[in-house]
C-alpha cells in the first residue's frame, strides 16, 4: 500500500491546502501552456494579478464521514458505501470540489512539467533550461534508467509527501505506458503515448493522495488483510476510471492534452472528477 500505511491523514485546525500544493493561481510550469503565464489585458498592458483565494482551515472530524463509510465498504464490499466515502472525502474532507482540486494543484503543475519533459526528449517543445533532460545522455540506457532520469528531472525530492507520491505516480504511469504500448520508446513518444502518460500520472497521483489521507482505514477495517488489499485495489481502479472519464469528457469538448495547455486541462480534469464524487447520490 506504500506510504498510506504510516499515514493517518492531515488532522483538523490546519490549512486544507499546504502552500506548496495550491493550484488556484493561473499559469503552469515553465515551458508549459505558452501565453498562460504573464497574461496581458485587452489594452496590451499586463493583466492584474488575481487576488489569492483564501485557504480554509480543516474543521474537527473532517474525515469522519469518509472513514465510517470506508469501514463499511472494507467489511461488506458495498459499492454504495464506497461512493459515499468518496463523496464525504470531497465534501467534508476538503469542503467541496473547488478546494479538493486546489489541494491537487501540484499534480497539475507536475503534469505540465512531465509533458514538456517528454516532448523535449522526443524533439518537441523545450522546457525550462534548468530542468532539461539531455537526450544524448539517455540514448542506449535501459527503460528503468530512463524512467529514473525522468522522475528526477520532473519531480525532485523536496521532503514533502506530495513529492514522494508524485515521484511514484510518474514511475507507475511510465510503467503502465510501456505495458500498454509494447513498442513505445521513452525517448520518442508519440502524442497519443504522451497523453496516456499524463492521464495515468494524474490518476495515480489522485489515488496516492486519497490513500495518504484516508486509505489506511480499508486495511484496518477489512476482515482479513487479503480482503483489505482487494478492496483497496477496487477503489483505486474506481478512482482511476473516474479520472479517465473526466479526461475523455474534456477531450470531447475540444480540450486536449496536446493543445499546449496541459496544466490547465489537468486542473479541469481534477475539478471535474471531484465534482462527480461530491455529487454522488447516496
The average pLDDT across 210-220 equals: 93
pLDDT tens digit sequence for 83-105: 999 999 999 999 999 999 999 99
CA atoms within a 13 Å half-sphere pointing along the CA-CB vector of 133: 29
The separation between the first and the last C-alpha atoms of the chain, rounded to the nearest angstrom, is 28
d(CA 151, CA 7): 23
Residue with more model confidence, 74 or 9: 74
Residue 242 lies in a domain: yes
Q: What percent of the chain has pLDDT over 70?
A: 79
Q: What is the pLDDT of residue 51?
A: 54
**Choice between 23 and 27, residue whose per-residue pLDDT is larger:** 23
Q: With a cut of 60, say whether residue 33 has pLDDT above it.
A: no
Average pLDDT over the chain reads 84
Mean pLDDT of 35-59: 54
CA 113 to chain centre: 13
Q: Does residue 206 lie in a domain region?
A: yes
Alpha-carbon distance 227 to 250, whole Å?
A: 35
* pTM reported for the whole predicted model: 0.84
* pLDDT computed for residue 6 by the predictor: 44
The predicted-structure confidence for 153-209, as pLDDT tens digits, reads as follows 999 999 888 999 999 999 999 999 999 999 999 999 999 999 999 999 999 999 999
Angstrom CA distances, 199 to 111, 178, 274, stand at 9, 14, 15
Contact status, residue 171 vs residue 239, Cβ threshold 8 Å: no
Within a domain: 49:
no
In a domain, 263, yes or no: yes
CA separation (Å) from 260 to 115, 126, 246?
Answer: 9, 12, 18
Residue-wise pLDDT tens digits, 245-282: 999 999 999 998 876 799 999 999 999 999 999 999 76
Inter-CA distances, 106 with 27, 96, 122, 263, 267, Å: 12, 18, 24, 10, 10
Total domains in the chain come to 1
The domain of 164 spans 65-278
Report the C-alpha gap between 223 and 241 in whole angstroms: 26
Percent of the chain at pLDDT > 90 equals 67
Model confidence band, residue 128 (pLDDT cutoffs 50, 70, 90): very low
DSSP secondary structure of the chain: -GGGGG-----SSSBSS-GGG---SS--STTSSTTTSS-B-TTSSBPPPPPPPPPPBPPTTTTHHHHHHHHHHHHH--HHHHHHHHHHHHHTTSSSHHHHHHHTHHHHHHHHHHHHHHHHHTT-----GGG---HHHHTT--HHHHHHHHHHHHS---SSHHHHHHHHHHHHHHHHHHHHSTT--TTS--HHHHHHHHHHHHHHHHHHHHIIIIIHHHHHHSSSHHHHHHHHHHHHHHHHHHHHHHHHHHHHTT--TTSS-HHHHHHHHHHHHHHHHHT---
Domain-embedded: residue 144: yes
Is 120 part of a structural domain of the chain? yes
Of 47-56, 165-174, 220-229, which gets the smallest average pLDDT?
A: 47-56
Residue 31 counted as domain residue: no
135: pLDDT strictly greater than 90: no
Tell whether 104 is covered by a domain. yes
- Answer yes or no: are the C-beta atoms of 74 and 217 closer than 8 Å: yes
Amino acid at each position: 500500500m506504500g506510504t498510506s500505511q504510516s499515514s493517518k491523514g492531515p488532522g483538523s485546525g490546519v490549512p486544507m491546502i499546504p502552500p506548496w500544493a495550491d493550484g488556484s493561481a493561473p499559469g503552469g510550469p515553465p515551458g508549459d501552456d505558452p501565453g498562460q503565464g504573464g497574461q496581458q489585458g485587452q489594452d496590451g498592458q499586463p493583466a492584474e494579478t488575481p487576488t489569492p483565494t483564501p485557504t480554509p482551515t480543516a474543521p474537527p472530524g473532517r474525515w469522519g464521514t469518509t472513514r465510517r463509510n470506508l469501514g463499511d465498504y472494507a467489511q461488506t464490499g458495498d459499492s454504495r458505501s464506497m461512493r459515499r466515502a468518496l463523496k464525504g472525502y470531497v465534501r467534508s474532507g476538503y469542503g467541496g470540489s473547488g478546494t479538493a482540486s486546489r489541494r491537487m494543484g501540484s499534480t497539475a503543475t507536475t503534469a505540465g512539467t512531465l509533458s514538456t519533459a517528454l516532448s523535449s526528449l522526443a524533439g518537441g517543445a523545450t522546457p525550462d533550461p534548468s530542468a532539461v533532460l539531455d537526450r544524448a545522455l539517455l540514448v542506449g540506457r535501459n527503460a528503468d534508467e530512463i524512467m529514473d532520469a525522468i522522475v528526477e528531472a520532473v519531480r525532485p525530492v523536496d521532503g514533502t509527501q506530495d513529492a514522494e507520491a508524485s515521484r511514484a505516480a510518474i514511475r507507475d504511469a511510465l510503467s503502465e505506458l510501456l505495458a500498454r504500448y509494447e513498442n513505445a520508446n521513452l525517448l520518442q513518444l508519440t502524442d497519443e503515448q504522451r497523453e496516456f502518460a499524463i492521464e495515468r500520472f494524474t490518476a495515480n497521483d489522485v489515488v496516492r493522495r486519497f490513500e495518504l489521507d484516508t486509505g489506511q482505514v480499508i486495511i484496518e477495517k477489512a476482515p482479513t488483510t487479503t480482503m483489505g488489499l482487494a478492496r483497496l485495489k477496487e477503489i483505486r481502479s474506481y478512482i482511476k476510471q473516474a479520472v479517465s472519464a473526466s479526461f475523455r469528457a474534456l477531450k470531447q469538448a475540444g480540450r486536449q492534452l496536446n493543445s499546449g495547455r496541459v496544466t490547465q486541462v489537468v486542473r479541469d480534469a481534477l475539478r471535474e472528477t471531484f465534482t462527480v464524487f461530491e455529487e454522488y447520490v447516496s
